[in-house]
Chains A and B, each alone.
Chain A
Amino acid sequence: MTNLAGKLNALYRTLRGVRSSGESFGLLFSLFRQVLDDNNKALEIITDMGDTLGGDYLFDIQYVRRSYADLHAAVNDSLRDFEALTHGRYPRLRDTFLNIDDGIRHVIDETVIAAKDLVVFYENVTGDRVRDIGGKNYNLAEIRNALKLNVPDAFAVTTRAFDAFMGHNRIFEQIQIPQDGSPVSGASLQEAHELILHGEMPPELHRAIDKAVKKIKSRCKGKCSLAVRSSAGEEDGEFSFAGQFETVLSVPLETAAVEKAYRKVLASLFSEKSSIYQKRLGYDLRDMKMAVGCVVMVDAATSGVLYSIDRQGNRDTLIINATWGLGTSIVEGQTDADLYTVNKHGDREIVEARIGRKSSMAIGREDGGVMTIATPDEKSKRSSLDPGRVAELARLALLIEKHFRRPQDIEWAIDGHGSVFILQARPLRQASDDTRMGVASAVAPDAHVLMKNSGLVVQNGVAAGRVFILKNINELDSVPRGAVLVARHDSSHFVRVMTEVSAIITDTGTPTSHMAALCREFRIPTIVNAGNATHLLAHGQEITLQVENEGATIYEGQVRQVMERARTSSVRMDELSEFRKKRYLLRYIAPLNLVDPLRDEFIPQACKTMHDVLRFIHEKSVAELIETAQSGVKAGAVKLDLTIPAGIMVIDIGGGLHNPLHADHVIAEQVSSLPLRALINGMTRPGIWRSDAVSLNVNDFMSSMLRMPDLMSDSGSRVESNMAVISREYANISLKFGYHFIIVDCFCSENTRNNHIYFRFTGGATDMTKRSRRLQVIAEILGEYGFNIKTKGDLIVARLANISRDEAEKVLDQLGRLISFTRQLDAVLRDDQAVKRYARNFLDGIYQA
């Protein structure tokens, strides 16, 4: 396989060498457009599936199959064209695509990927194991492996072990389960329960558990016991059947004892209590597969439960329940534990501490099990946590919340040495979910409407909060919790604040953008393309936003009718097992993990969803285009005469020039390439291009001499190497002025989603300090236009995507001005204050030094 890929690569490289004219670039360009079209088709299907599976529609498996078949075809087309475009340089991407496809087909067909092992240690748990070890095991293993937090030594007994046990003991054959889905009789449940408790361990399962127990024993030097708990087959851990199934604590490290506890946990699947719960959520008993977690017990001095937001949905604070000894009493709802409300920001100080009486405490018994003793007097009224520990727990909770992208319900324990362990983490089902997810349709006749039916709906829901107008992407960190984020452009970078903001409104953007996908995933009420929300709404103004399929309404202030109606009308579709099973499919399709091409690990293997694959394809297609435009296209170039001596040669690959005649030069008026025209409009704006010589000091001069030989030739014929490859909607422009290089790559079509502007600036004649000051000016200005920016040394890379043609043209005009404005700017940036001054001046349209 690798060898074949290598040969293909070599072949492509050869072909590439041959194809080096404007004509072949045109071919490449049409492939690029083809990729974008395929991508858009796929993204539209993803959006449609997200909507339809969102709970507002009745759908059936036919719909799911049909939609996925369409999606598969669209992504496959995109991938095929991408492979042609990039000459097969990313062979791993197809493997990744096939893997994701495989996962999706298993969900659609409701087939289970057979677990390889009967037992798996947490350190060996990989991303594809959720289904066979259950949500509880998986989350904990993830916290250990990905977040590197303290989790007790543990292993999972998989669903394959469950099947082996049930099959070996012929449990389902022996009990009566009605075929029509009506409840299993109490007698049958009791029978199953007994059969499991006294069942025989299949020999291979016995060997696997025995081996695992011995391994744990040797690792903890024999001085520990286990908590054996259910990790039922709910894949996303959302419905973890809290408290429904048995947990056996302080199980001695002996195979027989662990097996006995294992059977006890399995048997609890057939308790009357859990079968009612299953029925309510639409589970079929035969569908249930129970994985089990065997986790080393922490010899807890203090333990408890933490909610990463408070139950009223206040996202500024989290709450911690704590007591002495084991946390079992808290989990079971004993109420005289300590309760701390903690500020999630800053130093994470305690807002309120209610010290409970903690009259009793649970401790592990020597011979297994747990006993409750009276709390010694000196302890009972004392706070079980000091402020330092509280802050530490809060820190861990925020890490976990961020990782799983949802508020969390976390069990924790602190051992005698003061080490904090995470014992369990699952999504917190909070009251405020209702307001975020609600199908709201309330009218508030008295409320003052600020905007109505403007914008495109991304995610339904109702939210209230203070407007935060984001002027510059760099201000993202100062967006307060609960705010309504209002911005000119949409950006996938908003993901950084998505657990914090209550709603998002953008002036521009599309519902299929990457940000939109993230908003749906986070269920944040969102509208895009709202026109001029950044002007109509005032920074700090309190508003209520109501987003329905039909459109969005923004009210002034907090409108209680709207908020309350949203709360009561919400239908908790996701309580239905069948619904969740189908919706689970979206996990492999919609979420976006490759958020930032400038920072994230942008490799095919990092793609986890179809959306990731499409994102990867888009980014790398743009990169390919830029790279190809930069190299090897020279033939057929004509000189572009401008009012400034920019010395640009133009290669038209289709519709970029009109009346090109046969002359070897063209004038600005002949440029019909939208992006190039906009850029040169900006560049040639009177008064920006400085032609007077800027004096360099000795340091600057030396610094430039060390790097390049032709300092004195900033005018004249040398600049002929500047090049623009253009079509009507595309331009790739590379400029070299003296010692700095600029690349602008832009596609600006009718279709907002397709459009991008890439800007790259590097080098300079002056010393590093001044050059980096110039970069700061550029970053400051580009940030204002919504660019995503990365700087490294004297390099700045900035990109802006998903912008309308009009917007792109405006931004390119500004970029043109910026190119001319900053040409010799470094030499005059004598101090850091100058950075702000020049950036401000530029933004205010003042271009003179």
Chain B
Amino acid sequence: MNSHKIMVIDDEKIVGDMAKLSLEQEGYVVETFLNAEPALKRLQEEKFDVVVTDYKMKGIDGMEVLKNVKALYPGTQVIMITAFANLDAAIEALRRDVHDFFPKPVKIKELKASIKRALEKQA
């Protein structure tokens, strides 16, 4: 089993909880955060292979997370999820080399497939 590290940031507990449970089933090591600040602090300590982040959050938003992750670890892939289909945000995120952009609700199977592709990209 691989033990790639995945970080999930979403200000709603249920999203992190569900993502953690289903991604752990795939053998990933998953850490969840309810807001970006402690998540970015954690990233300073350790590299994660994939970061899944909500777009709209209080304080630091998903776009900031994306910028920060890319600055720290250019190879780490970021997947952004958002409650509303937001074209402008999607374009902006793509410009900043986001790996994937999903509107919620996100089909878990698709998220898993996207993570798999993200890891293949790094390999």
Of A59, A571, A572, A575, the residue contacting B105 (CB under 8 A) is A59
Question: Would A57 and B108 count as touching, CB distance under 8 A?
Answer: yes
**Residues A578 and B10 in contact in the complex (CB < 8 Å), given A59-B105, A63-B104, A569-B25:** no
Q: Residues of A contacting B107 with CB < 8 Å? A: 56-57, 549
Question: Would A57 and B106 count as touching, CB distance under 8 A?
Answer: yes
Residue-wise, chain B 8-35 has the 8 Å CB interface mask toward A (1 for contact) of 0010111101110110010000000010
**Residues A579 and B105 in contact in the complex (CB < 8 Å), given A60-B10, A62-B83:** no
Q: Is A573's beta carbon under 8 Å from chain B? A: yes
Residue-wise, chain A 172-187 has the 8 Å CB interface mask toward B (1 for contact) of 0000000011000000
Closest partner residue, chain A, to B18 (CB atom): A58
Residue-wise, chain B 88-107 has the 8 Å CB interface mask toward A (1 for contact) of 00000000000000001111
Q: Is A89's beta carbon under 8 Å from chain B? A: no
Separation of A602 and B18 alpha carbons in the complex (Å): 39
Separation of A56 and B22 alpha carbons in the complex (Å): 9
CB of B59 to closest CB in A, whole Å = 15
Question: Would A63 and B17 count as touching, CB distance under 8 A?
Answer: no
Q: Is B51's beta carbon under 8 Å from chain A? A: no
Q: Is B115's beta carbon under 8 Å from chain A? A: no
Q: Residues of B contacting A572 with CB < 8 Å? A: 21
Q: Residues of A contacting B25 with CB < 8 Å? A: 569, 571
CB of A333 to closest CB in B, whole Å = 28
Q: Residues of A contacting B84 with CB < 8 Å? A: 62
Residue-wise, chain A 540-584 has the 8 Å CB interface mask toward B (1 for contact) of 000000000100000000000000000001011101101101100
Residues of A in contact, count (CB < 8 Å): 25
Q: Is A376's beta carbon under 8 Å from chain B? A: no
Residues 139-181 of A at the B interface (beta carbon under 8 Å): 180-181
Residues 24-61 of B at the A interface (beta carbon under 8 Å): 25, 34
Closest partner residue, chain B, to A439 (CB atom): B109
Q: Is B111's beta carbon under 8 Å from chain A? A: yes
Q: Is A660's beta carbon under 8 Å from chain B? A: no
Separation of A582 and B111 alpha carbons in the complex (Å): 21
Q: Residues of A contacting B17 with CB < 8 Å? A: 282, 576, 578-579
Q: Is A61's beta carbon under 8 Å from chain B? A: yes
Q: Is A52's beta carbon under 8 Å from chain B? A: yes
Interface of B is mostly: helix
Separation of A180 and B13 alpha carbons in the complex (Å): 11
Q: Is B81's beta carbon under 8 Å from chain A? A: yes
Separation of A588 and B102 alpha carbons in the complex (Å): 29
Q: Residues of A contacting B83 with CB < 8 Å? A: 60, 62-63
Separation of A574 and B104 alpha carbons in the complex (Å): 20
CB of B9 to closest CB in A, whole Å = 13
Residues 87-135 of A at the B interface (beta carbon under 8 Å): none
Separation of A254 and B3 alpha carbons in the complex (Å): 58
Residues 32-64 of A at the B interface (beta carbon under 8 Å): 52, 55-63
Separation of A52 and B109 alpha carbons in the complex (Å): 13
CB of B89 to closest CB in A, whole Å = 15
CB of A695 to closest CB in B, whole Å = 70
**Residues A56 and B108 in contact in the complex (CB < 8 Å), given A579-B14, A582-B14:** yes
Q: Residues of A contacting B108 with CB < 8 Å? A: 56-58
Residues 529-545 of A at the B interface (beta carbon under 8 Å): none
Closest partner residue, chain B, to A57 (CB atom): B105
Separation of A573 and B14 alpha carbons in the complex (Å): 10
Question: Would B19 and A58 count as touching, CB distance under 8 A?
Answer: yes
Q: Residues of A contacting B13 with CB < 8 Å? A: 181, 282, 578
Closest partner residue, chain B, to A572 (CB atom): B21
Closest partner residue, chain A, to B102 (CB atom): A58
Q: Residues of B contacting A61 with CB < 8 Å? A: 12, 14
Taking each of B18, B34, B107, B108, which has the highest tally of chain A beta carbons within 10 Å of its own beta carbon?
B18
Question: Would A58 and B21 count as touching, CB distance under 8 A?
Answer: no
Question: Would A576 and B109 count as touching, CB distance under 8 A?
Answer: no
**Residues A62 and B21 in contact in the complex (CB < 8 Å), given A56-B109, A578-B14, A582-B14:** no
Taking each of A57, A61, A439, A573, which has the highest tally of chain B beta carbons within 10 Å of its own beta carbon?
A57
Q: Residues of A contacting B81 with CB < 8 Å? A: 58
CB of A583 to closest CB in B, whole Å = 10
Q: Residues of B contacting A575 with CB < 8 Å? A: 21
Closest partner residue, chain B, to A51 (CB atom): B105
Separation of A575 and B14 alpha carbons in the complex (Å): 12
Residues on B lying within 8 angstroms of A by beta carbon are 10, 12-15, 17-19, 21-22, 25, 34, 81, 83-84, 104-109, 111
The 6 closest A-B pairs by CB, nearest first: A578-B14, A59-B105, A57-B105, A62-B83, A58-B106, A60-B12
14 interchain pairs, CB-CB under 8 A: A56-B109, A57-B107, A57-B108, A58-B111, A59-B104, A61-B14, A63-B105, A571-B22, A571-B25, A572-B21, A573-B21, A576-B17, A578-B18, A582-B14
Known contacts A52-B105, A439-B109, A578-B14; 5 additional CB pairs below 8 A are: A63-B83, A63-B105, A576-B17, A578-B13, A578-B18
